[in-house]
Chains A and B, each alone.
Chain A
């Protein structure tokens, strides 16, 4: 007589295997689903979205210049950093050379003729754009409101690549500083924070919004401290962009504390700022001034701290 135990044990073993496999796969599948975008664009385009997002970000800068923009064939030295991002302080300005002359001199008569049919003057939308630069010409209506025209491309860029922080920074700057749309800027930044939880650059920009536009220094302080905390918790050495952001955060916090009379806190933040500042000796002078005002003696060794 054959034993019935073996198939039964086999079934139990299979059941345990299935259960273990399901328990192992489920959290991973959930994590993948959370990571993946569920929108149609994400499904259709995959990772090529990032390429298009970059294209639309640059397109916004081309709109900022009313179409006067170098192509891949032109000298792009003066357009390495989009001007709208440089003006907003969202990116480190790496532009070199004369931005008005990327076309150079016409090489032949066709090129010379061609230039009468394309935008050939350097303008910025926030200074009136193409209309502002030609006073008394056939066109000439709105003065500085034209900067709104870059917004559709920035929104499209953010939707295609929600992890591109510069897009949120630039959009927020132009919305709140130049168009007075503080609510829209805050909503956009919060959307950025949902896509990039705890990002220090977004926290910094949101803090600026509360400090400069809503005059709510308490919330600004909390946001900036959270941003600085995230950066300080990161693994050293910090990347250049992180150093740049830590310097922004610590300096803003130092100024905020100083304006509220919290000199000891201000000194602490200046101490954080000093190693990432391009001018540590000047920061040290400010620290000494604050110590004098506070009545604290300055430690001798700090004066001789080498620049990083």
Chain B
């Protein structure tokens, strides 16, 4: 386990040494700040449009940070040939991959803490009410969703040749699931025969990332999600994340390093 945490620590250090996170955080703060300075019909209590914009920026930023960070991990180790001295130490290939996954996931968690703290500060300053439990649920569900995505991109980094192609495919898949994943069953029902079976099969097979997108509940101040359902969603994310990481470990065990 120490080996895993040692690798994870390196990935976290890498994230805060790189500029990506800072640039995205500053952009989010700037755009939200500028939009927050706009007054509509002399009413300074309007806040939901600002919450929506801020959350959208947070989601985009987190997807960029998660996918680009994990997608370059293994290819850069191989390209720089640092993977050989790394594996020469008493660390297994599986531990290396789990360490990379854990490091990236924790790094995304740290980034989300910063982003959601800013979001909470903005909304509290406007609404004068802190919906702690709601924000906690939204942030943690977001984090667990990133876990699935990081697992998927880690597996992709062993399948696809270049980090750019892996990152692009992961972005496209994640966006497609977030936009239409919820409605695939309706699309399938409008079809017949083999097409219907295929689409419905796809609907059951894909990781439903959209479940973790609870922005509408946060924007419109809906009440908190019942804890059993929240727990079930977390379990769902853990299972899918573990599935992708296990798949990556299996693939990496037999993969030639050069």
Contact = CB atoms under 8 A, between A and B. Distances in A.
Given A73-B183, A110-B203, A119 B223 contact: no
B49 A153 contact: yes
B202 interface: no
B48, B211, B213 — most chain A CB neighbours (10 Å): B48
A148 B127 CA distance: 13
Contacts of A149: 46-49
Contacts of B3: none
B186 A117 contact: no
Interface in B125-182: 127, 129, 131, 133-134, 141, 182
Nearest to B213: A117
Contacts of B187: 73
A107 to B, nearest CB: 5
Nearest to B219: A67
A138 B219 CA distance: 15
Contacts, number: 104
A180 B43 CA distance: 12
Interface stretch (A26-34, A127-135, A268-276): A127-135
Nearest to B38: A152
Given A66-B220, A138-B223, A110 B45 contact: no
B186 A155 contact: no
A141 B129 contact: yes
Interface residues of A, number: 36
Nearest to B214: A117
B69 to A, nearest CB: 26
A184 B229 contact: no
B54 to A, nearest CB: 14
Contacts of A67: 216-217, 219-220, 222
Contacts of B42: 181, 184
B41 A184 contact: yes
Contact of A152 (B40, B224, B232): B40
A114 B221 CA distance: 18
A226 B145 CA distance: 59
Nearest to B43: A148
Interface in A106-157: 107-108, 110-111, 113-114, 116-119, 129-131, 134, 137-139, 141, 145, 148-149, 151-153, 155
Interface string A177-204: 0010100100010000000000000000
Interface string A52-73: 0000000000010011000101
A108 B214 contact: no
Interface in B197-216: 203-204, 208, 210-214, 216
Interface in B5-54: 38, 40-43, 45-49
B229 A116 contact: yes
Contact of A63 (B40, B48, B134, B185): B48
Interface of A: 63, 66-67, 71, 73-74, 107-108, 110-111, 113-114, 116-119, 129-131, 134, 137-139, 141, 145, 148-149, 151-153, 155, 175, 179, 181, 184, 188
25 contacts: A111-B185, A113-B232, A114-B208, A117-B211, A118-B214, A118-B216, A119-B220, A129-B221, A130-B221, A131-B221, A137-B223, A138-B134, A138-B223, A139-B131, A139-B223, A139-B224, A141-B127, A148-B41, A149-B48, A151-B40, A151-B43, A152-B49, A155-B40, A184-B42, A188-B41
Interface of B: 38, 40-43, 45-49, 127, 129, 131, 133-134, 141, 182-183, 185-187, 189, 203-204, 208, 210-214, 216-217, 219-226, 229, 232-233
Given A116-B226, A151-B40, A181-B43, 15 more contacts: A63-B220, A67-B217, A71-B183, A73-B187, A107-B189, A110-B208, A111-B185, A114-B211, A130-B220, A134-B222, A138-B134, A139-B131, A141-B127, A149-B47, A188-B41
